[in-house]
Amino acid sequence: MAILDRFSLRGRIALVTAGAGPQFGSSLSEGLAEAGATVITASRSLEANLEYAQKLQARGLDVHGMQLDICDSGSIRALHDSVIQRFGRLDILVNSALARNGHAGGLEDQTTDQCLRSAAGDFAGLFEICNVFLPNMVQHKKGAIINISSIYGVVSNDPGIYQGTSMKQPPTYNFVKAGMVNFTRYLACYYGKQGIRANCISPGGYFNHQPQAFLDRYCERVPVGRMLENEDIKGAVVFLASDASEYVNGHNLLVDGGWTCL
């Protein structure tokens, strides 16, 4: 098989949680669809997912919108049933949903309740969605799980880049993202012989109109001199979802412009 053919996702069914979101999710969905996959985007807002799906359908891409609350076990299982009933199987599961309401303020501002709220989606939800879709993947002896972690799951944040702003990096974010990386390794080892590969993508800082003082310090520190943009992550997810990475398992792919090299 020619190398470019190994990147093709034609005939694959992919689910992207938070797959219509402006940060990462929409890029992940678009990249998989452009590579030929049938893509399902799912998050709390069914309307937003249907609207984004229609936008990509207008380009001739095979994209569908569904609903999911990653903090709700019943919602996760309902999504599973809908996907399997409609498409028969799932080949690619991309976990990019994040329970943002649990990530706010610095350590001194955090409460145990906030920690538990973040764990409800970012840990328990991740565990649940993998748990419900894995039997179908095992049945078909093939599947790719891709978890979206962060550079802050690998290294600590640099407090200096937040000086002069009201921004604070919440400790719960580092906590759950680091756990996601090692949970991915667990899945890779436990299910590898059953045809399932599990890998992570850990993106660097995403440009989201942050305060100029933060942007200046971040861009000065990162070797490529800019923040991550939507197009930067598409190639990584297609690679890890495709046969081009058939022997890549348990890996954490850093898409960070060199941030973690320093």
Give the DSSP per-residue string, 140-205: HT-EEEEEE--GGGTS---GGGGTTSS----HHHHHHHHHHHHHHHHHHHHHGGGTEEEEEEEE-P
CA-based radius of gyration for the chain: 18
Q: Please report the pLDDT score of residue 101 as a whole number.
A: 63
Q: Please report the pLDDT score of residue 104 as a whole number.
A: 63
Q: Please report the pLDDT score of residue 106 as a whole number.
A: 77
Domain-embedded: residue 211: yes
80-86 long-range contacts, Cβ below 8 Å, gap at least 24?
Answer: 80/129, 80/132, 80/133, 83/13, 83/15, 83/40, 83/133, 84/136
Closest CA to 224 of 210, 203, 208: 203
SS3 255: strand
Structural domain for 250, as ranges: 3-254
Q: Please report the pLDDT score of residue 115 as a whole number.
A: 80
Domain-embedded: residue 261: no
Query: pLDDT tens per residue, the chain (262 residues)?
Result: 899 999 999 999 999 999 999 888 999 999 999 999 999 999 999 999 999 999 999 999 999 999 999 999 999 999 999 999 999 999 999 999 977 665 667 777 778 887 887 777 888 999 999 999 999 999 999 999 999 999 999 999 899 999 999 888 888 888 889 999 999 999 999 999 999 999 999 999 999 999 999 999 999 999 999 999 999 999 999 999 999 999 999 999 999 999 999 8
Domain-embedded: residue 137: yes
Domain-embedded: residue 161: yes
Closest CA to 34 of 53, 10, 51, 54: 10
Q: Please report the pLDDT score of residue 103 as a whole number.
A: 61
Domain-embedded: residue 145: yes
Query: Distance between CA 19 and CA 32 in Å, rounded?
Result: 11
CATH code of residue 203:
3.40.50.720
Domain-embedded: residue 175: yes
Domain-embedded: residue 262: no
Q: Please report the pLDDT score of residue 10 as a whole number.
A: 98
Q: How many domains does the chain have?
A: 1
Strand order in 63-67's β-sheet? Answer: 63-67, 38-43, 13-17, 92-95, 143-148, 196-203, 252-255
